[in-house]
Structures are given as structure tokens and as C-alpha cells.
Amino acid sequence: MRDPRIAHPFVLALAVAALAVPILTSCSESSGSNSGMGTVNVRLTDAPIDLTQVQSVVVTITGVTLYSSGESEGDMPQVTPMGAVPILTHPDTFDLLTLTGGATTLLASGEAPAGRYQRIRLEVSKAELTFKDGRVEPLKLESGKVDVPIAFDLGVDATQTLTLDFDAGASVQVNETGSDKYILRPVVTPVN
């Protein structure tokens, strides 16, 4: 049976998913050779939702990694054979419910080799709900990693801004049969 203090599991999931939106927001340029560098800033946001009994949906993100397409096309070089470029400088905790109404926050920023990228991976280490009555409920992580397909080109000395929507309402689910009452299955999508 669903906890009557929560509006609806889908609404909670929408809130959590919306948090991840602004994770990728900009890349800045830097001088260099043919395999020059650029800077990537990732921002996080959350779409507006109705969580009448929830005060906060908090997630701790410990990693943001860019993955190249592994292809050369036109003037965009292949980034690296492995294709993984970490850009998160330090783990941080975000309350998704503070990122509504168009608000965003910087999730990660760093230099990356110029080239073509195809996805971003977020690593979530912890999540919890805080209700308006002060009760705190941990969210069991179904997976600590979420891959977001988002194709973009980073030019030499260019800035690329990417925004991700971490949909809290779609990500938080109620488990009515297991020992862990609330589950986080991150739903993250790029914002165009």
C-alpha cells in the first residue's frame, strides 16, 4: 500500500529525474595544437513537480564522465581510443527540489579534448527523501550509474553548454514488498 503522506510515486520520480538536467552546460575553449582542448561545464536542473509532502530529494553525484563516439567526421577528430574523459572535480550533493522553475546549478566543469562525444555518465552514490514532517527516508540505488545519450561536438578553444534534466518524479519509486521502501532508478534526459 502506498504511503498516504506522499502525493504519488510518479511525482517523486519526476522530481529526482529533473535534477540531472543541468549537469552538462558549457565547454570553454583553450589554445592548443591539432588535438586542442575545450572546456565542458555540466549543469543540473529539475522540472517543476507537485510533491506536497516532500521537502527535499537529495542526491550525491560522485562522477561525471564524457564518452566519445570513437569516430572521426569532418574536422572533428577522434578523442581517444578509450573515449572516456572525466570532468567532475569533486563530488557534491544536490537537492533536486531547489532546481525547479528553470533554475539550474553547475554539476561539473572541466577541459576535454576537442572532438565528437556521444554520451555522459553520471555516478550517484547516495540519495534520500526528506518529508515536511522531518522524516528522512534513504533511497535504495538500483544502479549507481546512469548513461545519458547526448551527441555534441567540442571544438578547439570552444565552449559547449549542456543541460541535463534529472526527473525526480520518474526516478523515485515506492517498493511495497521489499525491505527498502523507496528506490531511485535515475531518469536523466538532455534538455534541448
Instruction: Please state the φ and ψ torsions of residue 164, each to the nearest 5 degrees.
Output: -115, 140
Query: Which one, of 41, 15, 12, 16, lies nearest residue 163 by Cα?
Result: 41
pLDDT of amino acid 178: 65
pLDDT of amino acid 21: 38
Percentage of residues in the chain with pLDDT exceeding 90? 41
DSSP class of residue 147 equals: E
pLDDT, averaged across the chain: 76
pLDDT of amino acid 146: 93
Q: For residue 82, name the pLDDT band (cuts at 50, 70, 90).
A: low
Q: For residue range 27-59, list pLDDT tens digits in order.
A: 333 344 446 899 999 988 765 444 678 899 999
Q: For residue 86, name the pLDDT band (cuts at 50, 70, 90).
A: very high
Q: What is the mean pLDDT of residues 14-34?
A: 38
Q: For residue 152, name the pLDDT band (cuts at 50, 70, 90).
A: very high
Number of helices and strands (H, E) in the chain?
A: 2, 13
Work out the number of other CB atoms within 10 angstroms of the CB of residue 116. 20
Q: For residue range 93-151, list pLDDT tens digits in order.
A: 999 989 888 899 999 999 999 989 999 999 999 999 998 999 998 999 988 899 999 99
Strands 159-166 and 37-45 turn out to be parallel
pLDDT of amino acid 26: 34
